Structure 1
Amino acid sequence: MKRHQSNPEPKLLKVAKDRRIAFTVVRLWLCDSEQEARQLERQLKGRKNGRKL
């Protein structure tokens, strides 16, 4: 979350914020490094099954 808060906003979060759309973080995956987090993110996105996450 800190990475997303400190980096330029992802488009989806920016649009939600601009339109005052509330959202809730419902799940976090903890990783030991940024590289591990990126690998996990790619793996999860590659499944193309966001509803089950």
Structure 2
Amino acid sequence: MSVAADATLTVEQAHRIARDVEHELVHSVPRPATATVHTGPVSAAEAAHDTLAHHR
């Protein structure tokens, strides 16, 4: 899973987000084998585009 994060976040802050997402997945998905969460920086323009991308 990839998570878009504000480009101004520190690596520590982005890592915390990834850890929280992974934790939620473990509690939400029945019997997950594994979860790998990657955070990457995103600009405001990319964020606006990505919000609608899954509708296309």
Q: Higher strand proportion, which one? A: 2
TM-score by shorter chain over 0.5: no
Q: Higher helix proportion, which one? A: 1
Normalising by the residue count of structure 1, what TM-score does the alignment of the two structures yield? 0.36
Normalising by the residue count of structure 2, what TM-score does the alignment of the two structures yield? 0.34
Higher RCO structure (Cα 8 Å, ≥6 apart): 2
